[in-house]
């Protein structure tokens, strides 16, 4: 442990081997395991437990009673991510005892009581709201928003720009830019508000609408989706069409 740290509360336990950068704040009654690395600017509030192989990038904030990692876990958390109270990341052993790495990208907002299981990958700028559960091997591309009390079942991928309504149960892949909700969750249309915030070119949005109707209008047409992905030059259309072509829909 670095000898330059002055912001660790005296009631917290820091195991030998932990790497704590300067300008890190650790509140009372925390436990930081020997294989944990906290980079500069991180703030850990009270009663937080960090265990296993865990790398936390700069300026991450972890709020009270969060638990990240367990024996045998391998977890990375990207810069400027906020992890709110009572969240659990990689604390339950995998069903097949294969604790795959968990990767949390940068600038994510993970709210309270969220559970993230092994093998989950969360790209940048995602918002995971209260009491969401991400089962094993779930992949969320960037800028996904998941409503409270929702569950994403194991081995499914959520495309970029998807918005999932509250109390939904997602049992399949969800293509990029979709708005979904329900138990089981179904596509209700495009996440138009998200697209307008993200894309300045209105023609891109109109083209996405047209492709959505062609490829998902009456069920997923994977053959047509692959043809579009191979021949269209628009990067957003390629993302949408190629995702559908290789999805489990």
Choose the final residue of a domain: 149, 170, 190. 190
240 and 138 belong to one structural domain: no
pLDDT (0 to 100) of residue 218: 82
Look at residue 6 and tell me whether its pLDDT is greater than 70: no
Inside any domain, residue 43: yes
What percentage of the chain exceeds 70 in pLDDT? 98
Choose the final residue of a domain: 145, 160, 190. 190
101 and 202 belong to one structural domain: no
241 and 200 belong to one structural domain: yes
Q: Categorize the per-residue pLDDT at 1 as very low, low, confident or very high, splitting at 50, 70 and 90.
A: very low
At 64, which CATH number? 2.160.10.10
71 and 120 belong to one structural domain: yes
Inside any domain, residue 1: no
36 and 94 belong to one structural domain: yes
30 and 73 belong to one structural domain: yes
Inside any domain, residue 105: yes
Q: Look up the domain containing 121 and give its range.
A: 13-190
pLDDT (0 to 100) of residue 217: 87
Inside any domain, residue 213: yes
Q: Report pLDDT digits (tens) over 110-148.
A: 999 999 999 999 999 999 999 999 999 999 999 999 999
Choose the final residue of a domain: 144, 163, 190. 190
Q: Categorize the per-residue pLDDT at 3 as very low, low, confident or very high, splitting at 50, 70 and 90.
A: very low
225 and 124 belong to one structural domain: no
Inside any domain, residue 57: yes
Q: Report pLDDT digits (tens) over 51-82.
A: 999 999 999 999 999 999 999 999 999 999 99
pLDDT (0 to 100) of residue 192: 96
Mean pLDDT of 89-101: 87
Look at residue 41 and tell me whether its pLDDT is greater than 60: yes
How many structural domains is the chain composed of? 2
Full-model pTM: 0.95
232 and 115 belong to one structural domain: no
Inside any domain, residue 165: yes
Inside any domain, residue 69: yes
Look at residue 2 and tell me whether its pLDDT is greater than 50: no
54 and 136 belong to one structural domain: yes
Tokens describing residue 101: 């790495």
Of 28, 25, 24, 31, the closest CA to residue 9 belongs to: 28
232 and 118 belong to one structural domain: no
129 and 73 belong to one structural domain: yes
Look at residue 4 and tell me whether its pLDDT is greater than 60: no
Q: Are strands 178-182 and 163-164 parallel, antiparallel or unpaired?
A: parallel
Q: Report pLDDT digits (tens) over 189-225.
A: 999 999 999 999 999 999 999 999 999 988 899 999 9
Look at residue 30 and tell me whether its pLDDT is greater than 80: yes
Inside any domain, residue 80: yes
pLDDT (0 to 100) of residue 226: 97
71 and 114 belong to one structural domain: yes
């Amino acid at each position: 442990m670095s000898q330059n740290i002055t912001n660790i509360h005296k009631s917290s336990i820091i195991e030998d081997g932990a790497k704590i950068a300067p300008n890190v704040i650790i509140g009372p009654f925390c436990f930081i395991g020997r294989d944990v690395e906290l980079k500069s600017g991180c703030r850990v509030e009270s009663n937080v437990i960090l265990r296993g192989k865990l790398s936390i990038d700069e300026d991450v904030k972890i709020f009270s009673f969060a638990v990240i990692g367990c024996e045998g876990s391998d977890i990375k958390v990207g810069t400027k991510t906020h992890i709110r109270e009572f969240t659990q990341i990689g604390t339950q052993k995998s069903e097949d005892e294969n604790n795959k790495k968990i990767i949390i990208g940068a600038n994510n907002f993970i709210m309270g009581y969220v559970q993230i299981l092994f093998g989950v990958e969360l790209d940048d700028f995602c918002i995971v709201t209260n009491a969401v559960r991400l089962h094993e091997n779930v992949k969320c591309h960037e800028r996904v928003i998941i409503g409270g009390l929702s569950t994403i079942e194991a081995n499914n991928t959520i495309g970029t720009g998807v918005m999932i309504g509250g109390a939904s149960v997602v049992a399949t892949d969800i293509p990029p830019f979709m708005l979904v909700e329900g138990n089981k969750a179904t596509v209700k249309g495009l996440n138009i508000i998200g697209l307008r915030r993200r894309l300045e070119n209105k023609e891109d949005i109109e083209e996405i609408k047209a492709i959505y109707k062609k490829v998902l209008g009456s069920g997923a047409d994977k053959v047509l989706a692959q043809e579009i992905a191979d021949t269209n030059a628009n990067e957003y259309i390629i993302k949408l069409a190629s995702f559908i072509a290789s999805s489990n829909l």
